[in-house]
Each structure stands twice: as C-alpha cells, then as structure tokens.
Amino acid sequence: MLYALVLLPLLGALCAWIVPDNRWRPLVLPVIATIHSIVTAILLGNAPPPSPAGWIWLDPLGKIVLLCISLLFAVCAFYAVGYLSYRRERSNRVLCMGLLVCLSAMSMVTMTQHLGLLWVALETTTVSMAPLIYFNHNARSIEATWKYLLLCSVGIGLALLGLLFLAYSTYVAHHDATLLLGPLMFSARELNPAWLHAATIFLLVGYGTKMGLAPLHAWKPDAYGEAPGLVGALLAGGLVNCAFLAILRVYQICLASGTEIRFFQQALLGMGLISMAFAAVFMARQADFKRMLAYSSVEHVGILAIGLGLGKGALYGALFHLLNNGLTKGVLFLSSGNIHRSYSNKTTHVVKGALTRLPWSGGLFLAGFIAITGSPPFSPFISEYTIVSSAFIDGHYLVGGLFLLFLVVVFIGMALTVLPMVMGAPPANIEPTDYEDRLLTVGPPLFMMALILLLGVWPPEFLVTLLKDGSAMLGVQP
Amino acid sequence: MILLADQLLVLVMLINLVMLGTSRLIFSIRAVAVQGVILGILPGLIHPFSGHLAGITVGIILAKGIIIPYLISDAVRKAHIRREVEPFLGYVPTLLLGAVFTALSFAFAEQLPLAPEHKELLFVPASIATLLTGFLVLTTRRKAISQVIGYLVMENGIFVFGLLLSEAMPVMVEAGALLDLLVGIFVMGIVINHISREFSSLDTSRLRTLKEE
C-alpha cells in the first residue's frame, strides 16, 4: 500500500510520456492524484507497522505532511487540466512528468525513516521541479530557474555534509554508522557533541535553504514569481513542507540528545524572526503580486520555524500551520495564476478591479489574502494564535511581541498590494485575453478555500488526534 | 596505504588551488575530472576489499571522472566559450583566499575528533578545503559554466568526507546521491544551453532582471 504512493505517480509519469496528444495528456494527473489521495486516506486510518529494517514507516509527522501534499496535489491536478487547456500552444509533456515524479519523491520523503533516503528524495524533488519553473521559456524564467537550481543544489549539498557528519558521529560512538532515525535517537546521548553540533549547523543551513528561511531565501521570489501558478502552489505547499519535515527529523535527534536542542531552538527562533522581518520589509510596495506571495511564503516558513523554536504548546500550532499554510498558499497561487492569465500581466500597475473582471478568481484571491494574514474564521488564525499564545504563556514576551508586530506590518503591506488589485474598476485599455473563469480553474481552489474555512471553525476529530500525536513525537507531554 | 591516501588527499587540495588560478574552462573541467578519479581510488586504500567497495569505485569514477566532465565540456562546446573573463574577484586574490581557507580547514579539523583508525588521515581538512574552494569559485566567477564547476568542486569536497563512511552507507543511498548529482548536472547543462541561446552569452551577471527596485 505504502509503496503504491511512490510507484503509482512514477507509472503516471510513464503514461504522460507515452501519451502523444497535448490535449489528453493532462488527464493523467487527476486520475493518479485521485488514486493517490484515496490510498492516503486509507493509510491515515490504519498505517502499516514499520518495515522490518526500519526504513519505511509512516509516523504521525509523516502523515500530517502526506495529508497536506496529497490534498494539495489533487487540487492542483484538477486545476492543471483547466489551466493547460489555455496553454495548448506549448507542449506539457515535461510539466506533467515533472509534477508526477515530484509527487512520487514527496511521498517518499513523508514515509522514510532513513535520513539518507530522505535526502535523496528531497534532492529529487529539487531537480524535478526545475524544468517546471522554466515552463514559460523566456529570459525571466530561465534566470529564476538558474538561481533556484544552483542555490537549492548547493543548500542540499551542505545538508548532505551534515548527514555525513551525523553518520560519522555514530561511527565514532559505537563503530556502526547509521542514519536510521530510531537508532540515531536511541544513541543520541552518546554522540560526540562537537560532531553533532557541526552536523546540526550544516543540516539547518542546508534544509533551511531548501525551505526558504531568511537569509537563505534569495531564490524564492524569483522562482515563485516566474513559475506558473500551479507550480508555485506545489513549491509553496509541497516542497516547503517536505523540507520542514526534514528539519523536524533533525529536531527529533537534537531533542533526543538532550543538549543540542537548546542551540537548535535558538537558531530556529532567530531565523524565523529574521524571515518574518525580511518578508515584512519586502512585502511593502511590492508591485508584482506573485513575488508578493513568495515573500508571504518566506514569512510563513518563518512562523513554522518560530513555532518549532518555541517548543511545547507552539508545536501543535506549528504542525497545524504546516497544513493551513500549504492549503492557503494553494488557493492564492492558483487564483493568482487565473488573474495573471486574464490580464496577461502580474503587476499591480495593470491588474486592477479583479473582482469585477473575474468575480470568482478575484474573490478567491481576496479570501486567500484574508486567510493567510491570520484573520478569523479561517484556520491559519487558529494555528498562528496557538503559537503566539504559547509564546506568551512560556514567557517569551520579546518573541511573541515581535511576532505580532511583524504580522501587523505584513498585513498592511499585503493589503496595500491586494486591495487595489481586486477592488475598483478594471482599466479600460487592457488587451482582451481568452481566459474566463470556468469550473476547472475555479472549482479546485474554491474547494480548498472551503476546506480552510472548515478547518477553522470545526477541525475534524482525527486531525486533532493526529496533530497531538505529532507534537507528542516532538517532546510534548500528552 | 595510509600514506598513499594522504598523498592523494594533498593532491586533491593542490588541484583546488590550480582551479582557482586558471581562467581556461576546459582545463578546470579536466581538473575536476582528475579529482573525481582520485575520489574513486581513495576508498580502496582505506577500506578492505569487497564487492560493495568495487561498485563504489566504479560508480564514482564513471560519474565524476567521465560522464559529468563530458556533459559540461559538451555545454562549453555548444556555447562557444573558452575562458572565464573578468571574474568578480581576480585570480590572485582568490588564490590567496583559497590558501587561507585551506589553512583554516586544518584548524577546523582539529576540533572534530576522528575515530582512532582514521587519526592520521587528512580527510576532514581536505573535505572542508575543497568545499570552501567550491564556494569561492561559485561566488567569484561570472560564467554559468564556472558556477557549475564550483558546484562540482563543492560536491567533491562533500564526497571526500563521505568516503570515510563508504563501507557503512547503504548502497541505495550512495547510488541515489550519485544519480541525483548526475541528473542535476544534466539539467544544469540544459539550462546553460538555454541561457546562451536567450542572452547570447553565459555571463550570469546579465541575469539581473529579477531584482527588487
């Protein structure tokens, strides 16, 4: 069952490669995505026990990420059918194959307990996403692809060195190098502190680059800005969460070591606050709305890092926010892709009055903005509130205060871009395009928006249990 | 055997310096290839022979010594360039910096205690020095190809350290890492091709449309 999650998308990629017709090829995506989410739903209910060698086990943390990825991918797959029907002039073979290979690698990330295998899968997601950012084949997108590919490859290379340090520290301790999570945590107290410390730093920098934590986020605005909306959605909701899961694994080891966790939490807090500050500064007066979304993503990975850095009650909030951020970013990127198509422009100089021109997409974009900035009744409000209240309960007044301050600044900055975009009258002299809101381009993000609302007002029982199990794995007493 | 391994590691560090001092791209690519071949030989010198080890040696020499250099030289040929011109930082300063970094990596290696049987080996300083050299090339050169070469040198540095563990690591992970590297370089080669077509140059400092005003 578990292996189906990895093999099925690969099979789909093969199908996408074989199908010769540009019109029918995208249909592979929703078929595979539907089966993938059904299998995911079954596995969330009763996951198989760990594999005999301990390499494969879908633990609660993996389940949370898998849930987010599978949902987001399914929504994007249906959207892709609608979106690609407007892009018939361009071959979508590479796009479809890349998406499916990436889904396979992301599923692998969620279920593996072997840090080496996790690294291989994460690197695969990086490489498979690169051609997708280049989908538009112009000078701007190639620049973005180049930065993304080089910076992420270097970052993930550093993470590999961190992993090797970790493995070597186990070799020094008991002459048996291992990268399996269980044995690593079991023997974490015996590891040489110098090696463990070096490993933690390299892993944090490496996976932090991949996740886009400031000051390692330089590739993010370009890649998110130039990629098609649906690729942006998967980058911001899928790859970010996979990298975050890798950081969670490092966190588990640091926690088990007992001594390293303090440093790791401080570093996460620092990087998280810097990320939020960067986002707050660059969000203001951002004319390109896709780049604005990229900075919003920098802000939210900052929130995730802060939640992890605070520990205790904030962990529940961080894990919940992982899901909320992924889904809300999906809504924002998909609807912004529609707006981009309709105006064939992505700057606020041209894009005005989207609510009038495209009532559905404009409305979804506005709703997504309200949700992502943490307004009730949507679910990001709950998770952000959990994190900030736990900061104050544990006496981190400075962190909590700065967190709130940055949230307010981001809200104002984002509103200054979003409100003129959706309100008012569309400019009269824009060129007409063939895009109009249809079921397949509006329905998927609308479904996701409804989900965010549902999670905000009535989070289902199984999810609450899952999140509690997840935070228990990160050291919270149940 | 240990002595020979150390001599090879010193050779790796010398190649780093050579790479920092040259402007000829084909020459740099060959230097990286030689480093790759040395990387393939090293595990045989420090670990007892086994099938796994032979696989590693063949895999590394094939990937790092032959296929990757071929992919990059192919990109160089297609783009019709031969030299790195006007790096952001001149050759002499980078060479000096490279020497300083090499010295620093020896100091850093003192902090990390190796297992007793690896005590005399220079794996840690060689690895860190190569990693830093890669960084230096990556940040100071303008041409996209030079940046890929920098990335490769960096990867070589990481692999140097990994060789200490080559016996202990599962085959699947090693093969996966090498394969990912190969595919990554392959994709980079394609992107380079498109850059040279789009900008009629491989000067990455021309890639500056995407900036905050």
Q: What is the ipTM of this complex?
A: 0.91
CB contact under 8 A, B191 and A139: no
pLDDT of residue B113 exceeding 90: no
Bridge partners of residue A56, in order along the sequence: A112
Q: Which residues contact A214 (CB under 8 A, 6 or more apart)?
A: A271, A274, A275, A277, A278, A279, A298, A302
- State the pLDDT at residue A363: 93
The pTM of the full predicted model, rounded to 2 decimals, is 0.94
Q: What are phi and psi of B203, to 5 degrees?
A: -80, 110
C-beta of residue A91 within 8 angstroms of C-beta of residue A25: no
B107 vs chain A: nearest CA distance in angstroms? 14
Reported as a single tens digit per residue, the pLDDT across A51-108 is 888 889 999 999 999 999 999 999 999 999 999 988 888 888 899 999 999 999 999 9
Residue B134 to residues A66, A106, A255, A453, Cα–Cα distance (Å): 35, 29, 33, 48
Please tell me which of the candidates A142, A160, A167 has its beta carbon nearest to residue B194. A142
Reported as a single tens digit per residue, the pLDDT across A210-264 is 999 988 888 999 999 999 999 999 999 999 999 999 999 999 999 998 888 999 9
Q: What percent of chain B shows pLDDT beyond 90?
A: 29
Cα(A306)–Cα(A388) distance, integer angstroms: 9
Give me chain A's average pLDDT, please. Answer: 91
- State the pLDDT at residue A477: 65
pLDDT of residue B213 exceeding 60: no
Which residue's entry shows tokens 């205060």? A401
Chain A residues in contact with B180 by the CB 8 A cut-off are 120, 123-124, 127
Reported as a single tens digit per residue, the pLDDT across A172-196 is 887 778 888 888 888 888 888 888 9
Q: In this structure, what token pair is assigned to residue A260? A: 């390293």
Residue A27 carries which side chain, given as an amino acid letter?
Answer: L
CB contact under 8 A, A120 and B154: no
- State the pLDDT at residue B122: 87
pLDDT of residue B212 exceeding 70: no
pLDDT of residue B140 exceeding 70: yes
pLDDT of residue A417 exceeding 80: yes
Reported as a single tens digit per residue, the pLDDT across A165-174 is 999 888 888 7
* Residues in B 165-204 with any Cβ partner in A closer than 8 A: 165, 168-170, 172-173, 176-177, 180, 183-184, 187-188, 191, 194-195, 198-199, 204
* Residues in B 123-162 with any Cβ partner in A closer than 8 A: 127, 131, 138, 144, 147, 151, 154-155, 157-158, 161-162
CB contact under 8 A, A146 and B184: no
- State the pLDDT at residue B209: 66
Domain ranges of chain B: 2-199
Report, as an integer, the average pLDDT of B191-205.
Answer: 76
A124 vs chain B: nearest CA distance in angstroms? 6
- State the pLDDT at residue B208: 67
Of B124, B188, B201, nearest in space to B150 by CA: B188
C-beta of residue A360 within 8 angstroms of C-beta of residue A437: yes
CB contact under 8 A, B210 and A157: no
Omega before A215 within 30 of 0, i.e. cis? yes
